[in-house]
Amino acid sequence: MAYTTKNGKKLVTLIPGDGIGPEVVFSTKKIIAAAGVAIEWEECAAGESVFRKGLESGVPKETIESISRTRVALKGPLETPVGFGEKSANVTLRKLFETFGNIRPARELPGITTPYSGRGIDLVVVRENVEDLYAGIEHMQTPGVAQCLKVITRKGCEKIIRLAFELARAEGRKKVHCATKSNIMKLTEGLLKRTFEEIAPEYPEIESSHIIIDNCAHQLVKKPEQFDIIVTTNMNGDIISDLTSALIGGLGFAPSANLGNEVAIFEAVHGSAPKYAGKNVINPTAILMSAVMMLRYLDEFDAASNIEHAVLVTLEEGKVKTGDVVGYDKGTPTTVYTDTIISNLGRKSSKWKVRDYKPIKMWELPKDLDYVKPKTRRVIGTDIFVETTLSPMELGKSLEQLAEGTALKLKMCSNRGTKVYPLTGAITDCVDQYRCRFIIRNADSELSDAQLLELLNKIMTKHRWGHIEKLHEINGAPGFTKAQGED
Ligand code: NAP
């Protein structure tokens, strides 16, 4: 929770950011001050300037210390300049402070005409923020084969799903969709779906349903008003939340919050839009509405509503419009737009409502590392990844010979996920990496590490191996999927 200073002000870390960041952050700070909220800002650096000084993470120690102290940050967009640093400073900040939930609302706004105007879009994408392909675990497995691990945990799923339902309660929303690709990725995306189905009954007043993510994208374009809250994995959420921003007028209007149990970081969905930097033309609404979310997080509900109403009145009256709405040759300068919102503080739109928000209950899950304790588990085989230019037939025969006299027998080899040995008669375009699946000969026993290493030692006499995976059976069910074409 937030830190309050001795003089009663709430302490917030402020990262102006890169490109258009300082302009939109300054505009927001000015509006918050005009609304009379007592905030003490601790200004800190991150992003481009930090990378250029040679710090590879883009996030200096002082900034980490500030957020650790204040627990709340308002952040402008950060850039990773080409040739500096490897990881995004944005992702680093989200991960360092375990802000596992990315909340991205998209609501139709008055005076912002889109092909969807009048349909009442008012939805929130709740995106898991730290796992999935964004765990950032990538390897070149052979000179021509790259891999990125998609890491999904039961604990991560439970946290994001509970957050989605608690958000529904806090905002008086009625429906939560869980959007996954569980039909293809049964274990990873499927874990989110299964966890959703287990937890949903604890929220009986909220309608819950699962939707396949590609259909979700289709439905969002076709009939977006049917959605209330969509909870989804990191990559899916990244993509569909940019889509939902476009439905309501673009990135200039898309706020977001990164919520964790300890820390919250508020930022616009958009980036640093460098071509508009310093021109006083950019739309500050996205970060302003992110700051409105921050005020609610800080229990400043009245000030948050006051600012939200001022934005709605400003847009409804349409006397000022930024360049992204009317074209940059005709747009209102950022500073004038900001001052107009300030002049509208205290006014209320008669037609456009502001929700009756309540604090979001954040679930504290047990910190046990072995979060899931199975009743039974055993290792029943192994996948050994081999780099070779042999044909499937040549490799398969060689591995069968090598496995003779060991505890394991070759079940199949696959290439790029498709079974190619024993031969299937299908046409598969192979590359120099095979996944070779060995299963324990005695079906009732458990594979020991010594038995696995015996096989590996034999294989490495003839072939270059890349990595191995143990095949687990957990609570009697396989903890691995079959290759395409595998029986
Ligand atoms: P971007 O900065 O979001 O800009 C893309 C386009 O979106 C802009 O050219 C502009 O469209 C529109 N736009 C963005 N913000 C706007 C605003 N406030 N008002 C009006 N229009 C706005 O995306 P990018 O060009 O792909 O990325 C630039 C840099 O930002 C990259 O270094 C990227 O890594 C970084 N980035 C940071 C974050 C973050 O900090 N969370 C997020 C995304 C990207 P038009 O060109 O059509 O006018």
pLDDT at 1: 64
Instruction: Tell me the pLDDT tens digit for each residue of 352-364.
Output: 999 999 999 999 8
Q: Cα dihedral angle (26, 27, 31, 34), rounded to 10 degrees? A: 60
Which pair of structure tokens corresponds to residue 223?
């009939």
CATH class of residue range 377-478: alpha beta
Dist CA 86 CA 56 (whole Å): 7
pLDDT higher than threshold 80 for residue 135: yes
Place of tokens 């079974």: 419
Taking all residues of the chain, what is their mean pLDDT, rounded to a whole number? 95
Under 8 Å between Cβ of 305 and 354: yes
pLDDT at 156: 97
Beta strands 122-128 and 229-232, pairing class: parallel
| Confidence bin at 83 (pLDDT 50/70/90) | confident
pLDDT higher than threshold 70 for residue 85: no
Mean pLDDT of the 367-390 span: 96
Q: Determine whether the shortest distance from the Cβ of 283 to ligand 1 is under 6 A.
A: yes
Q: Determine which one of 18, 122, 132, 238 is catalytic.
A: 238
Q: Determine which one of 29, 75, 181, 419 is catalytic.
A: 181
Dist CA 474 CA 166 (whole Å): 31
Distance 269 CA to ligand 1 centre (A): 8
Beta-bridge mates of residue 11 = 3, 40
| Confidence bin at 80 (pLDDT 50/70/90) | confident
Mean pLDDT of the 224-239 span: 97
411: annotated active-site residue: no
pLDDT at 267: 97
| Confidence bin at 136 (pLDDT 50/70/90) | confident
Mean pLDDT of the 273-290 span: 97
Please name which of 328, 267, 309, 348 lies closest in space to residue 109, comparing C-alpha atoms.
309
- The CA distances from residue 46 to 53, 95, 195, 205, 358, in Å, are 11, 15, 36, 42, 32
pLDDT at 413: 97
Mean pLDDT of the 471-485 span: 95
Beta strands 255-259 and 464-474, pairing class: unpaired
pTM, rounded to two decimals: 0.95
Largest Cα–Cα distance in the chain? 84
Q: Whose CA is closest to atom 16 on ligand 1?
A: 252
356: annotated active-site residue: no
Instruction: Tell me the pLDDT tens digit for each residue of 177-210.
Output: 999 999 999 999 999 999 999 999 999 999 999 9
Q: Whose CA is closest to atom 35 on ligand 1?
A: 271
pLDDT higher than threshold 70 for residue 367: yes
pLDDT at 90: 87
Dist CA 127 CA 101 (whole Å): 6
Q: Determine whether the shortest distance from the Cβ of 79 to ligand 1 is under 6 A.
A: yes
**209 contacts: CB under 8 Å, gap ≥ 6:** 175, 177, 178
214: annotated active-site residue: yes
- Decide which of 206 and 425 is more confident: 206
- Decide which of 94 and 203 is more confident: 203
Q: Whose CA is closest to atom 40 on ligand 1?
A: 77
Pocket-testing residue among 15, 251, 258, ligand 1, by greatest number of atoms within 8 A of Cβ: 251
Distance 87 CA to ligand 1 centre (A): 18
Dist CA 276 CA 272 (whole Å): 9
Distance 456 CA to ligand 1 centre (A): 49
Q: Determine whether the shortest distance from the Cβ of 81 to ligand 1 is under 6 A.
A: no
Domain ranges of the chain: 1-98+263-354, 115-247, 377-478
User: What percentage of the chain reaches a pLDDT higher than 90?
Assistant: 89
Q: Determine whether the shortest distance from the Cβ of 267 to ligand 1 is under 6 A.
A: yes
In DSSP notation, 351-389 reads SS------PPPPP-----SS----S-EEEEEEEEEEE--
Pocket-testing residue among 270, 287, 321, 337, ligand 1, by greatest number of atoms within 8 A of Cβ: 270
Cis amide prior to 422 (ω within 30 degrees): yes
- Domain 1-98+263-354 and domain 115-247, same fold? Reply is yes
Q: Determine whether the shortest distance from the Cβ of 251 to ligand 1 is under 6 A.
A: yes
238: annotated active-site residue: yes
Instruction: Give the CATH H-level superfamily of domain 115-247.
Output: Isopropylmalate Dehydrogenase (3.40.718.10)
Beta-bridge mates of residue 472 = 379
Please name the fold of domain 1-98+263-354: Isopropylmalate Dehydrogenase (3.40.718)
Instruction: Tell me the pLDDT tens digit for each residue of 167-179.
Output: 999 999 999 999 9
pLDDT at 189: 98
Q: Whose CA is closest to atom 47 on ligand 1?
A: 324
pLDDT higher than threshold 80 for residue 154: yes
